[in-house]
Amino acid sequence: MPLLDMTDAELEQRGARWTVREIMQQPAVWAEALQALGDNVGMRRFIEAQLATPNLRIVLTGAGTSAFIGECLAPAIGAATGLRVEAIATTDIVSGPGLCLAEDVPTLLVSFARSGNSPESVAAVQLADRFVKDCRQLVITCNADGELAREMARRDEATCRAVVLPDATHDRSFAMTSSFTTMLLVAAWCFGVAERADVLVAAARRLMPQVPQQCAQWVGHFDRVVYLGSNELKGLAREAALKLLELSDGRIVSLFDSPLGFRHGPKTIINGSTLVVIFLSSDTYTRKYDLDLLRELRADGRAGKVLAIGMLGDDLKADGDTLDLADAQGLTDVELAPLYILFAQWFALQQSLALGLKPDSPSVSGTVNRVVQGVIIHPVH
């Protein structure tokens, strides 16, 4: 029976109730979160005030999937603002604060966190306060009761704010899905790099019912999957690879890279049981490099399948495995990212079920957890 036709009880029995719900709800929660933000005049003014700070450095941070949000956003925000914008994971800040934080450079630390309770997320905020003289903080989180949200509520609103997303985005499943895309979109809106939310939401609503059937044809045929994307979409490729690794409990080898970078060694992973997925850029210049590799891989004939996800055009006809996002014309790569990841989320979910796993809690050993455990934060001397 198709997943979309199952009742909650049937999905619960398969261990997939929350994962399915949280993937499916995304267009609705995007619209809800962006509507609430659009009514929040104070948040846009807060962002504008920070961006007016001379020599401001913006650091986008988080752990795991939350870190990849920053990797998706940093190129676009840097181009839009003309500022120094870097994606640095909290795990890197915590292990080397002196290497990541600059004492005399005004810094806006933007923290992404599903729960807001992971040890590294809390420690990164505290370390930024300690190592940077002029430190401002923006937290985007899915949990109103998390430590990060509570911490921002205690601070001066002029320099520290929290955006708390609708409770539905606080994913109950193991893997982050709606939390990832909604935090990404909200941050993109805050920094002015996602202005066509109505087009994005409408496209997602039309695309969502089609994706499970599209993904099903590739499930169960590959033991290696490679996701490739350029610039903002490289961070998305990293998230797509992690989603499959998590939900397959490590049984499917997954890799990410940029199309240009893939030739420099990682291409050796390809064999007949490899699926290669290329997220095509909407930028006409960048897209040329994406298509060059697409044609090269198909001409090589070594991969099991080479799938292109994007918009067809004069430079790409429907002459191979292609998912056409015709409804997304005119969207930038940051705006396309939430649409592209829908495929990766569904594919990982269906692959998990095909392996006999429970997507809501796929770790059979129980050694990998929804909120990371076992982290000791050591004092910095």
Q: Residue 289's domain is classified under what CATH number?
A: 3.40.50.10490
Q: Is the pLDDT of residue 79 over 70?
A: yes
168/252 same-domain check: no
Residue 103 domain-assigned? yes
251/167 same-domain check: no
Task: Report the C-alpha gap between 277 and 282 in whole angstroms.
Answer: 16
Q: What is the mean pLDDT of residues 154-165?
A: 94
Q: What is the mean pLDDT of residues 73-90?
A: 97
- Lowest-confidence region among 10-14, 241-245, 349-353: 10-14
208/157 same-domain check: no
170/208 same-domain check: no
15/32 same-domain check: yes
pLDDT per residue over 308-354, tens digit each?
999 887 777 766 688 888 788 889 999 999 999 999 999 999 999 99
Name the domain boundary from 158, 173, 195: 195
What is the extent of the structural domain holding 104? 3-195
120/105 same-domain check: yes
Residue 365 domain-assigned? no
Q: Is the pLDDT of residue 375 over 90?
A: no
- Mean pLDDT over the full length of the chain: 93
Q: Is the pLDDT of residue 96 over 80?
A: yes
126/264 same-domain check: no
- pLDDT-derived band at 371 (thresholds 50, 70, 90) equals low
Q: Is the pLDDT of residue 106 over 80?
A: yes
212/345 same-domain check: yes
Name the domain boundary from 164, 195, 226: 195
Name the domain boundary from 159, 180, 195: 195
Q: What is the mean pLDDT of residues 304-309?
A: 95
99/151 same-domain check: yes
pTM of the model: 0.95
Residue 82 domain-assigned? yes
Q: Is the pLDDT of residue 93 over 90?
A: yes
pLDDT per residue over 128-151, tens digit each?
999 999 999 999 999 999 999 999
Residue 49 domain-assigned? yes
Question: In the prediction, which pLDDT does 198 show?
Answer: 85
89/178 same-domain check: yes
Q: What is the mean pLDDT of residues 187-193?
A: 94
Question: In the prediction, which pLDDT does 344 show?
Answer: 97
320/190 same-domain check: no
Q: What is the mean pLDDT of residues 294-312?
A: 94
Residue 380 domain-assigned? no
87/188 same-domain check: yes
pLDDT per residue over 109-125, tens digit each?
999 999 999 899 999 99
Question: In the prediction, which pLDDT does 214 show?
Answer: 87
Residue 367 domain-assigned? no
Q: What total number of domains does the chain contain?
A: 2
Residue 379 domain-assigned? no
Residue 68 domain-assigned? yes
373 vs 90 pLDDT, higher one: 90
